[in-house]
Chain A
């Protein structure tokens, strides 16, 4: 029975790793619902903390959602044509550009934010509006849309589909909107969900770029960790998870559908 003891050892190890990762999340969730965390769950469960967070920080939630949606729109408008151009060019220049695009992801967010501040900081009204943060988010999330869209474009037989559309009289613009975009829908959707998810949780860049009037959810979270009770911060996390988990589930469902579509 050597094999079964090995199996049990592996199972235990896996469970241990899972516990190591999940327990802190659960602790945080419980903390957000506990009346007094230092006394433990025995002090009773309550939604008061959540209500308190909502009262104090609901503008940050709305701003984060607004930013995430605007970011998704901007990234689509820039990213889909960019992906198309990169796939079509496919030369040394386009590959270099692809690398360049990933730079804001590889660089510390603080550094990109500093660069933005140095360049555009003096334009006061732009600096103090939420659009300034939007620029940072777009820079940061762009590759996360361009990459999956490029992958889908390379899989589809786009050049020959475009030739077919051209033979039927469609000009370049029409071909792009009636053939290219619809046949990359899955990649675009996956990219958009990724972008929304990242934008909602982005802290690095945002923390540097925000003003007291433009606080996003993660910035508010840092605020509450620093200044409020542990229960409040935990309740805040709970709200964040409620927003982000459905998105992640959708992301997973779409990538499953994508891989099924490939097999067809």
Chain B
């Protein structure tokens, strides 16, 4: 299966009440790539997916699949596979009936149909369940049927709307890695919408972070996490400590709780760092504060440290040393872990 390049050119969509869901969006999704669209609810991520699918027509702009302009084609003529949030499996059909639906519509022979169905059942590990009704399946099994049904007609593009949101945490983890392997194995161009940053990081080759109908940032998970474009992206993807800079010193920046190393010229008003980049040290730290609480999280523990700023600092510490609330904690930070953002 070879992928198709997807392009949105200046796509805008407003709703009947006048609110603009998506502002002039320009986006290219490379063939075979998996793009995660990430954002809070109401940011326009679902509308973007639905414009690609053909369930919404942009008010202005074009949608291209390869060289073909599909802006005016309804979904049934776009050759996309779609996995819906609550799967939207046909309750009147069996697992098999659901999977072959798209093949039947395309007039593929019974023999071909059952062959393809067997392939897909094997792909998603549901060989034993072909004749079952949808009501007899667990959430995870339904998710797999939805995926198999979407893939059966060999679509050009696979679209997934919050594909794992309806599952419980443990199952979500497992299906996430299964889905990742599957998408990589198929090499199909795929786009999925999620509000879960962990899911976006794990599955997306690139992540599109959206905010109020616009692109906040588009980049690889690493870029998004390590070089967030603005405070919104930085705060949405992972946790973040913000330090208000009080003054520039010779070698650093004066902030509440201590002094941070800073070698660049000038002084930003705020600098940021991730919780895992703050290290608890015995003495001579950059920052000092008192422990408010410590939360054991298995592989690491999260510390809340009061330094006299508006928010306590978050520190992810891997050493799991137990501190008592009120203890004085010294923290060190590498200069390269600190960054400034332009809002």
Contacts and interface: CB of A to CB of B under 8 A. Distances in A.
A169 B84 contact: no
Contacts of B268: none
Size bracket, chain B contacts? 20 to 34
B84 A160 contact: yes
Contact of B88 (A163, A171, A178): A163
B143 to A, nearest CB: 14
B137 to A, nearest CB: 13
Given A166-B74, A167-B53, A161 B80 contact: no
Contacts of A242: none
B53 A169 contact: no
B99 to A, nearest CB: 10
Nearest to A171: B76
A179 B93 CA distance: 10
A66 interface: no
Contacts of B86: 157, 160
A1 B200 CA distance: 70
A165 B80 CA distance: 11
Contacts of B101: 165, 168, 170, 178
A86 to B, nearest CB: 20
Contacts of A183: 90-92
Given A160-B86, A169-B102, A170-B105, A182 B92 contact: yes
B132 interface: no
B82 interface: yes
A169 B82 contact: no
A264 B80 CA distance: 32
Contacts, number: 64
A164 interface: yes
Given A168-B102, A168-B105, A163 B55 contact: yes
A163 B149 contact: no
Contact of B84 (A156, A164, A170, A179): A164
Interface in A138-194: 156-157, 160-161, 163-171, 174, 178-179, 182-183, 185
Given A168-B149, A169-B102, A161 B88 contact: yes
A160 B102 contact: no
A160 B88 contact: yes
Interface in B139-180: 149-150, 153, 159
B92 A164 contact: no
A104 B298 CA distance: 71
Contacts of B82: 163-164, 167
Contacts of B80: 167
Interface in B60-80: 74-77, 79-80
Interface in A250-264: 264
A166 B74 CA distance: 8
Nearest to B135: A264
A167 B90 contact: no
B163 to A, nearest CB: 14
A90 B76 CA distance: 24
Nearest to B79: A169
Contacts of A185: 92
B81 interface: yes
A155 to B, nearest CB: 12
A174 B106 CA distance: 11
A167 B92 contact: no
Contacts of A179: 90, 92
A166 B75 contact: yes
A165 B86 CA distance: 14
Interface centre among A164, A166, A171 (most CB of B within 10 A): A164
Nearest to A165: B101
Interface centre among A161, A168, A183 (most CB of B within 10 A): A168
Nearest to B80: A167
A182 to B, nearest CB: 4
A168 B234 CA distance: 38
A175 to B, nearest CB: 8
Nearest to B89: A164
A164 B55 CA distance: 10
A128 B95 CA distance: 53
A183 B97 CA distance: 14
A190 B57 CA distance: 38
Contacts of B76: 166-171
Nearest to A175: B76
A165 B88 CA distance: 9
B299 to A, nearest CB: 39
A66 to B, nearest CB: 31
A171 B90 CA distance: 16
Contact of A163 (B75, B77, B81, B89): B75
Nearest to A169: B105
A169 B91 CA distance: 18
Contacts of B91: 156, 183
Contacts of B90: 161, 164-165, 179, 182-183
23 contacts: A161-B88, A164-B82, A164-B84, A164-B89, A164-B90, A166-B74, A166-B76, A167-B80, A167-B150, A168-B81, A168-B105, A168-B153, A169-B105, A170-B76, A170-B101, A170-B105, A171-B76, A179-B90, A182-B92, A183-B90, A183-B91, A183-B92, A264-B135
Interface of B: 53, 55, 74-77, 79-82, 84, 86, 88-92, 101-102, 105-106, 135, 149-150, 153, 159
User: 10 shortest A-B CB distances, which residue pairs?
Assistant: A168-B102, A164-B88, A167-B82, A182-B92, A169-B105, A166-B76, A160-B88, A166-B75, A170-B105, A169-B76
Given A163-B82, A166-B74, A169-B102, 5 more contacts: A156-B91, A157-B86, A164-B84, A164-B89, A169-B76
